[in-house]
Structure 1
Amino acid sequence: MKPNDVLHIVEFEKFIPPFIELTRTRLAADRHHFFFIHRGDLYQPGEKSRIHRLSDYAAKPIGLAVLAKKMNLAGKIVLHGLTHFRLLVLLALQPWLLKKTYWIIWGADLYAYQKIGTSWQSRLKEMLRRFVIPRIGHLVTYVSGDVALARQWYGAKGQHHDCLCYASNVYHHLELPTRNSGSNLQILVGNSADRSNNHDGIFAALLPHLETGLEIHAPLSYGDQQYADEVTKFGSAKFGSKFHALREFMPYGDYLKLLSGIDIAVFNHERQQGMGNIISLLGLGKTVYMRKSTTSWQSLTNLGLTVGNIEDFKPAPLSSELAERNRQIIREQFSETKLVNQWRSILETH
C-alpha cells in the first residue's frame, strides 16, 4: 500500500460489490484497497487483488493487526458505516488516523444515538463513538440533515462532502409497463423486514382505502425474518389475497422491474432509511409517501421533489406533470456521472 492509496473498511452489504466494481472501472483502481471487517465471507470476488477479509485470518487479532498497519500506511481511510465495536476500538486507539478518515454515514450508525442500550457493552460502545466521531476529519453523505445531527449529537467537526456514495442511489432508466385504467393500484410498503419500517402504521393508513382496489406488496427478504413472519401474518389477515409478502431475494434487475410496476410507495421510517428505493421510485415517476420529520424528506423536498406526507395518505398517483418533474430532477441530481465525479473529487484529487 502506497501513501496516496485509499483503504476502504467495509462490511458486506448488497451495495458494496457494485461499489468495488465502480472503483475498478471508473476510478483509479490501483489506489483502492478493501478490508472486510464483518461478513467478508459473503463476498466472493472474481478479482482478489486489493481485497482483504478479516475472516481469512485464522486468528482475528492477527487480522486486526494487519488492518491497523494498513490504516497507518493508507493516505485516506474510508469507513463504510461505523457500527462495529472492533472498528471503533481500532480508531480510538489510533486517534492520529481520524483526520484522514472519511465516514460514509449509513443511517443506522448515526441514529444508534437514539437507541443506546443499558448493558455495559452498549455504554462502552457509545463512549467510543463519542470519542471517535468528533475527531473524524470528513463526513460523506448527500443527506445534509444527517450531518447536522452528527454535529448536534456528537459534536462532529469534520468537513462535509456531498456524495451519492453508492450506485444504488443512482437513477436507472426503465421502460414502464402499460397500466390498464381499471386495474388495482399497486402499493409498495416499506423496503425490508427491519422493524424500523413500522409496517403497522402503513397498514393503518391503507385499511380505510381497501375498497378502492389496492394490491399491497411488502419486500421482506432482507432483515429480521421473525418480524417478516409477523408482517406476513398480519398483512394476510387484514388484506387477504390483496397482500403479497415478497420473501425471496430478488436480483437487482428483477427488483427494479418490480418497482416499475408500482403506483404508490409508502415508507414509515422514523429516520433516514431506504433512500436507494425512494430515489429509484421517484425516478420512475412513482408517488412516494414518507414521514415529514425525517432528514431524507428534507433533502428530497429541498431539491424540489414532490413527496407525500404519510399523514395525508391518499390512494391517488401524482399528476403526470408532477411525476415528470420528479423524473427530471432525479435524472439530473442522481446520475452515475455525478457519483463518479464526486468520488474522484473526494478521494483522487490530491
Structure 2
Amino acid sequence: MKHLHIWQNEKFTEPYIKFINKHFDPSEHLFIIVGSGVGAKITPRENVLEISRNASGIKRLLSEMYKSDKIYLHNLFNMDVNRLLFLQPWLLKKCYWLVWGADLYAYRNPRTTTKEKFKEFVRAFVIKRMGNVVTLVKGDYELAKEWYGTKGTYLHGAYINPISKDYLDSLALSEKSKDSPVVIQIGNSADPSNNHIDALNKLKNFKDQNILIYVPLSYGNKNHAKVVAEEGKKIFGNKFIALMDFLPPEEYSAYLNNIDIALFNSDRQQALGNIYALLYLNKKVYIRSDTSMWSHFKEKFEIEMNDVLSIENMDFNQFVQNTETQNKKKINDVFEEHYLVDIWGTIFNK
C-alpha cells in the first residue's frame, strides 16, 4: 500500500475519505479507523478498515504500517499508535503528522502524575523524530520546532470544510432592521480552550446593549458546557443562548448567516472551519493576536483580523462596526475542491 491513513472516526473522517477516493486512486490509499469516535457513520469501502484497540487490532495496524510507503497520522491523540512508533522509531521517517491543534498544544498542559509524564515523554520522542509535519497554519509548525525540536519537513495541509460553499452562496443576505439585536457568537464548541468565561467577561460592558449572544456547546466537555451556560445566563440573562443541540452542516450554515460578530478567544489554532465560513459571509470576526492564526490570515489571505485582546478598550460602536466587504473574495479558494486537490496532491507526491 502506498498511502496509509490512521485516525479515529472524527467529524472530518468520512468527508475526507470521500474526497480522497473521488480525486485520487483509491487503490493507493488505505484508511484505518482505530477504535470508536464521535464522527458520522463510516461508509463501508474496500479501502477502509475499522479495527479495535485490542491485541489483534494493533497487530494488524502494525503490519499495515510496515507494508505502506507513507503513513499519515491524522492527529497524535492515539497513545496506542504513539507507543508503536516509540518502540519502532525507524517508521517515523515515512510518517506525516497532520497537526490538529490540541495534539500540539498539549505541550502546555500540566502533568502531575507519572502516567501523564510518561505519555508526554513518548509523544515528545515521536514528534522530535517525525519525518514530516503537516499543518494548516505554518505557525504551528514553528511551535513544534520550538517545543519539541522536530526536524520534520513542513507541508501545508487542509481538510474538507463540512460547511458547503454552495449552500453558503444560496443563503439570502441577512437583513437587519434598526431594532434588531447585534447577534454575537462565542467559540465553536464546549472545549475549555475556547476560554468562554474570559470571553463573556470581555463582553460584560455591553450587557445593557441590544445584543444576543449564542454559544455553541453541543460537543466537547459537558461539565464545561454547563458552567458556561450558567455563567452566561448569570451575566446576560435572556440575551444569552447556549446551543446544546448539534446542528447538521446546512442548518449550521443558516445559523452562521444570522451572526453579526464572532469572537474566538482560544489561545491556539482552533475553529478555522467556522472562521472561514464567517469571513466568507463577510461577518466581523475577532481572534487573538497572540495565536498562530493571526499571521496566517494576514500572510496567506491579506485579511486584517480583529483582536479579541483589544475588546475591553473599545466602546460598543467600535466593537460592532464592520466595514470589511472583501473577505468573501479573499477566502473563496479554501472552499474550492481544486484548492484541496492541489494541497493533497503536493503532500502525496512529496
How much has 1:96 moved relative to structure 2?
Answer: 1.7
Contact 2:163 2:249 in 1 (8 A): no
**Which of 88, 98, 101 is equivalent to 1:94?**
88
For 1:275, the equivalent position in structure 2 comes to 272
Runs of 4+, deviation exceeding 4 Å: 40-43, 168-172
Deviation at 1:111, TM superposition (A): 0.6
Letter in 1 for 2:307: N
Tell me by how many angstroms 1:192 deviates.
0.6
List aligned pairs for 1:32-111, cutoff 5 A: 32-40=29-37, 44-55=41-52, 60-111=54-105
Amino acid at match of 1:156: T
Residue 149 of structure 1 aligns with which residue? 143
Secondary structure of the equivalent of 2:326? helix
Q: Quote the Cα distance in structure 2 between the aligned partners of 1:168 and 1:116.
A: 33
Contact in 2 for aligned 1:263/1:287 (Cα 8 Å): yes
* Aligned partner letter, 1:295: S
Q: 1:64 to 1:41 in 2, by over 3 A?
A: farther
After superposition, the Cα gap between the structure-2 partners of 1:246 and 1:126, relative to the gap in structure 1 and judged at 3 Å, is: same
Q: CA deviation at 1:87?
A: 0.9
What 5-or-longer segments of structure 1 have no aligned partner?
none
For the pair 1:327 / 2:325, whether they are aligned, the reply is no
The one-letter amino acid paired with 2:320 is A
Rounded to whole Å, the distance in 1 between the matches of 2:254 and 2:33 is 31
* Aligned AA (2:278): L
Q: 1:17 to 1:75 in 2, by over 3 A?
A: same
Task: Tell me: CA distance 1:116–1:88, structure 2 relative to 1, closer, same or farther (3 Å).
Answer: farther
Q: Which region of structure 1 is more displaced relative to structure 2, 45-54 or 9-18?
A: 45-54
User: Structure 1: how far apart are the matches of 2:131 and 2:162?
Assistant: 25
User: Could you report, residue by residue, the CA deviation over 1:260-279 in whole angstroms, capped at 9, with x for unpaired residues?
Assistant: 11000011111111111111
One-letter code aligned to 1:294: T
Contact 2:7 2:33 in 1 (8 A): yes
**By how many angstroms is 1:47 displaced?**
2.7
Q: Is 1:11 matched with 2:15?
A: no
For 2:338, give the aligned amino acid.
T
Which residue, out of 22, 26, 34, partners 2:23?
A: 26
Q: Is the 8 A contact 1:187 1:263 kept in 2?
A: yes
**Equivalents in 2 of 1:80, 1:142: separation in Å?**
12
Structure 2: how far apart are the matches of 1:219 and 1:40?
20
* SS of the residue 1:211 aligns to: coil
Distance change in 2, residues 1:298/1:86 (3 Å): same
Distance apart, 1:89 and its partner CA: 0.6
Separation in structure 2 between the aligned mates of residue 16 and residue 336 of structure 1, nearest angstrom? 16
- Tell me, which stretches of 5 or more residues in structure 2 are unaligned? 312-317
Pick aligned residue for 1:308 from 299, 306, 309: 306
String of CA shifts for 1:84-141, please: whole Å, max 9, x gaps.
2111111112212111111100011111110141211111111112211122111111
In structure 2, relative to structure 1, the CA distance for the partners of 1:78 and 1:334 (3 Å cut) is same
Alignment of 1:100-179 (within 5 A): 100-168=94-162, 173-174=168-169, 175=171, 176-179=173-176
SS of residue matched to 2:267: coil
Q: Distance in 1 between matches of 2:219 and 2:42?
A: 22
Query: AA paired with 1:309?
Result: D
CA distance in structure 2 between the aligned counterparts of 1:75 and 1:91, rounded to whole angstroms: 15
In the aligned structure 2, how far is the partner of 1:270 from the partner of 1:17?
28
The yes-or-no answer on 1:194 pairing with 2:191 is yes
Which secondary structure state, in structure 1, belongs to the residue aligned with residue 285 of structure 2?
strand
2:314 matched residue in structure 1 = none
* Contact 1:185-1:213 at 8 Å conserved across structures: yes
TM-score by length of 1: 0.92
Alignment of 1:221 with 2:222, yes or no, is no
Deviation at 1:77, TM superposition (A): 0.6
Q: 1:340 to 1:184 in 2, by over 3 A?
A: same
Residues 217-265 of structure 1 show CA distances to partners (whole Å, capped at 9, x for unaligned) of 0000011111111111111121111111100111111111111110000
**How far, CA to CA, are the matches of 2:47 and 2:158 in structure 1?**
24
Deviation at 1:213, TM superposition (A): 0.7
Between the aligned partners of 1:164 and 1:41, the Cα distance in structure 2 is 20
- Tell me by how many angstroms 1:295 deviates: 0.6
Distance 1:107 1:99 in 2: 22
The alpha-carbon deviation at position 280 of structure 1 amounts to 1.1
How many angstroms apart in 1 are the aligned matches of 2:254 and 2:117? 44
Distance 1:107 1:169, change over 3 A: farther
